[in-house]
Structure 1
Amino acid sequence: MEPIKANAAFLCNYEVMQILQQLKDKTQKKNKRVESLATVTYETVHYLQDTECKNQSAESIQNFLEAMKIFKLTKAEKLMMVNTPPRTELEIQLIVQESEERLSEEDVQKIIDISNNYFPPT
C-alpha cells in the first residue's frame, strides 16, 4: 500500500500505520537521518497501535466506505469516520458539517450502526 502520487489522496490511520511499519522493516542502515526517521516512525506506529486502526483491515475499511455511499458525505468526513468511527449522535455532529440539515435521525442511527458493524468497539 504505497501512495502513487504525493498529495493525490487522503490516507486513513490504518494506511499510514501499514506504510510506516513497512518502512520500519526496510530501514536497516544506520546514519543520523535514518535514526531520526526511525524514531518518528516508531513513535507514530506506537501511537497508531493504540487507536481504532489497530482492529481495522483494508477489507473492513473498503466495506465501510461502500456502505457509506448512500449518504452524501465528503471524502474528509468519511475519512474522519474511518479514523474515529462515530458511536454517538454527538460524534456525528462533530464530524459532519451541518449534520442537522443533511442527515435525518434515521440516517444518523444508520451511520452509527454501520460504524459498529464494520468497526466493532473494543
Structure 2
Amino acid sequence: MEIRNQKHQVLTNYEVLMALRTVKDSKSSHSTKNLATITYETIQYLENTPCKDQTQENIENFIIELKKFGRLTKSEILTMINDPPTLPVHIQLIVEDSEERLSETQVDEIIELSKKYFPNAS
C-alpha cells in the first residue's frame, strides 16, 4: 500500500466504516466477489466496535479538547478514538510513559472527555 497524500495517512475506524459503506452502496461493476466479501466482513466487524456510534463532529471535538494535554502523539489520539478509554489502566496502555506525562487529574479528564464524546463505548 502506498500513501499518496501524507495528509491522509491514517484513518479512524469511523472513517474506514464510512468509506466501506460507500463502497458497498455504490455496487460498482468493478467490484469482485473478494472485494465484496472483504467489505462486508469488515463492515460487520466495525459495527461491533465503538465507531458504530461515533460522529465526525464528536471525533473533531474530542481531538480539539485533547489538545490541552499537548504531549499526546497522533497515534495515541487515534487509538483513543478507535478504542475510547474508560479506565486509568486503559490510558496507561495507550499512552507511553503515561505516569510521567500525565497527572492523575489529567487521566481522569481524558476519561471524562471519552465518556462525553463517545458515551456508548464500553
Q: Under a length normalisation based on structure 2, what TM-score does the superposition of the two structures give?
A: 0.90
Equivalenced residues, count: 118
> What pairs up with 1:33-44 in 2 under 5 angstroms?
34-44=32-42
Equivalent-residue separation in structure 2 for 1:118 and 1:4 (angstroms): 31
Cα distance, 1:111–1:25 mapped onto 2, change above 3 Å: same
Shift of 1:121: 2.9
Equivalent-residue separation in structure 2 for 1:21 and 1:6 (angstroms): 24
**Which residue number in structure 2 is paired with residue 118 of structure 1?**
117
Identity %, equivalent residues: 47
**Which residue number in structure 2 is paired with residue 9 of structure 1?**
9
How big is the alpha-carbon RMSD for the aligned residues of Structure 1 and Structure 2? Answer: 1.9
Shift of 1:7: 7.8
Equivalent-residue separation in structure 2 for 1:113 and 1:7 (angstroms): 29
**Which residue number in structure 1 is paired with residue 72 of structure 2?**
73
Gaps of 5+ in 2: none
Gaps of 5+ in 1: none
| Counterpart residue identity of residue 29, structure 1 | S
Equivalent-residue separation in structure 1 for 2:41 and 2:48 (angstroms): 11
**Which residue number in structure 1 is paired with residue 93 of structure 2?**
94
Identify the match of residue 50 of structure 1 among 41, 44, 48: 48
Q: Under a length normalisation based on structure 1, what TM-score does the superposition of the two structures give?
A: 0.90
Equivalent-residue separation in structure 2 for 1:45 and 1:52 (angstroms): 13
Shift of 1:9: 2.3
* CA shift digits 1:68-103 (9 cap, x unpaired): 001110000000000000000000000000000000
* CA shift digits 1:42-86 (9 cap, x unpaired): 000010001000110000000100010011100000000000000
**Which residue number in structure 1 is paired with residue 25 of structure 2?**
25
Runs of 4 or more consecutive aligned structure 1 residues displaced over 4 Å after TM superposition = none
Kept in 2, the 8 Å contact 1:53–1:83? The answer is yes
